Structure 1
Amino acid sequence: MDFVDWKARWQVLAAFTRTGLAREEKVLLVLDPSDLNDDDALSCLDGGLGQVQDALASGQLVLARNTSVYLPDGRFSAERQLRTHAALIEQAREEGYPRLRGGGDMNWAPRASVDDEKVVDYEISVAALFADAYFTGLCWYDREQCSDHLVATMRRIHPLQVMEHLGALEVTSTANGARIAGSAELGSREEFTEVLHEALGRRPGPGPCRYEFDLRDLAYMESHCAWLLIDFAAGLPREHKVVVRCGAMLEMTLRGLGSGAVPQLELQVEDDDAA
Structure 2
Amino acid sequence: MSEHEEHEHHPGTIPVQQMRPGDHAFFGYEGDTHGRDVMSAFVWAGLARGEKVIVFGPPHLTEGQIWSAFEEAPGPLLAMARRTGRLTLSSMRQLIMPAGVFTADRQWERIGEETRTAREEGFTGLRTYIDMGWVADLGADVDTMMEREQRAGHLFSDGFYSEICAYDEDRFDERVLRAMRRAHPRDLLARIGQLRCLRLGSTLHLVGEADLTTRTRFVRALRDALGRGGVTVDLRRVEFLSVRCAQDLVLLVSRSDGGRPVRIRCSARHATLLSRLGARPADIEESG
**TM-score, normalization by structure 2:** 0.85
Query: Which residue is equivalent to 2:7?
Result: none
Query: Which residue is equivalent to 1:158?
Result: 184
SS in 2 for 1:48: coil
- Please report how far the alpha carbon of residue 43 of structure 1 lies from its aligned counterpart in structure 2 after TM superposition: 3.0
**Residue segments in structure 1 that go unaligned for 5+ positions in a row:** 204-209
Written as runs of structure 1 = structure 2, the 5 A alignment for 1:1-275 is 1-7=27-33, 9-35=35-61, 37-46=62-71, 47-70=73-96, 73-203=99-229, 210-260=230-280, 266-271=283-288
CA distance in 1, matches of 2:63, 2:273: 40
Q: Identity percentage over the alignment? A: 27
RMSD: 1.8
Equivalent AA in structure 1 for residue 60 of structure 2: S
CA distance in 1, matches of 2:216, 2:261: 23
CA distance in 2, matches of 1:162, 1:39: 26
CA distance in 2, matches of 1:108, 1:52: 25
SS in 1 for 2:197: strand
23-32 or 67-76, larger mean C-alpha shift: 67-76
Query: How many residue pairs end up in the alignment?
Result: 261
SS in 2 for 1:75: coil
Contact 2:34 2:168 in 1 (8 A): no
CA distance in 2, matches of 1:82, 1:8: 25
Structure 1 residues 70 and 250: alpha-carbon distance in aligned structure 2, compared to 1, 3 A threshold: farther
112-121 or 129-138, larger mean C-alpha shift: 112-121
- Please report how far the alpha carbon of residue 68 of structure 1 lies from its aligned counterpart in structure 2 after TM superposition: 2.3
Compare CA radii of gyration and give the structure with the larger one.
1
**Residue segments in structure 2 that go unaligned for 5+ positions in a row:** 1-26
Structure 1 residues 8 and 144: alpha-carbon distance in aligned structure 2, compared to 1, 3 A threshold: closer
- Please report how far the alpha carbon of residue 72 of structure 1 lies from its aligned counterpart in structure 2 after TM superposition: 5.4
Structure 1 residues 224 and 111: alpha-carbon distance in aligned structure 2, compared to 1, 3 A threshold: same
CA distance in 1, matches of 2:207, 2:46: 21
CA distance in 1, matches of 2:242, 2:32: 26
Structure 1 residue ranges, 4+ long, deviating more than 6 angstroms after superposition: none
Structure 1 residues 213 and 8: alpha-carbon distance in aligned structure 2, compared to 1, 3 A threshold: farther
SS in 1 for 2:78: helix
Contact 2:226 2:253 in 1 (8 A): no
Structure 1 residues 69 and 147: alpha-carbon distance in aligned structure 2, compared to 1, 3 A threshold: farther
Equivalent AA in structure 1 for residue 70 of structure 2: L
CA distance in 1, matches of 2:190, 2:50: 25
SS in 1 for 2:33: helix
User: Bigger relative contact order, structure 1 or 2, given CA contacts below 8 A and separation 6+?
Assistant: 2
Contact 1:31 1:66 in 2 (8 A): no
Contact 1:25 1:99 in 2 (8 A): yes
CA distance in 2, matches of 1:177, 1:250: 18
CA distance in 1, matches of 2:259, 2:247: 21
- Please report how far the alpha carbon of residue 226 of structure 1 lies from its aligned counterpart in structure 2 after TM superposition: 0.7
SS in 2 for 1:84: helix
Contact 1:32 1:67 in 2 (8 A): no
CA distance in 2, matches of 1:103, 1:79: 19
SS in 2 for 1:259: coil
Equivalent AA in structure 2 for residue 250 of structure 1: H
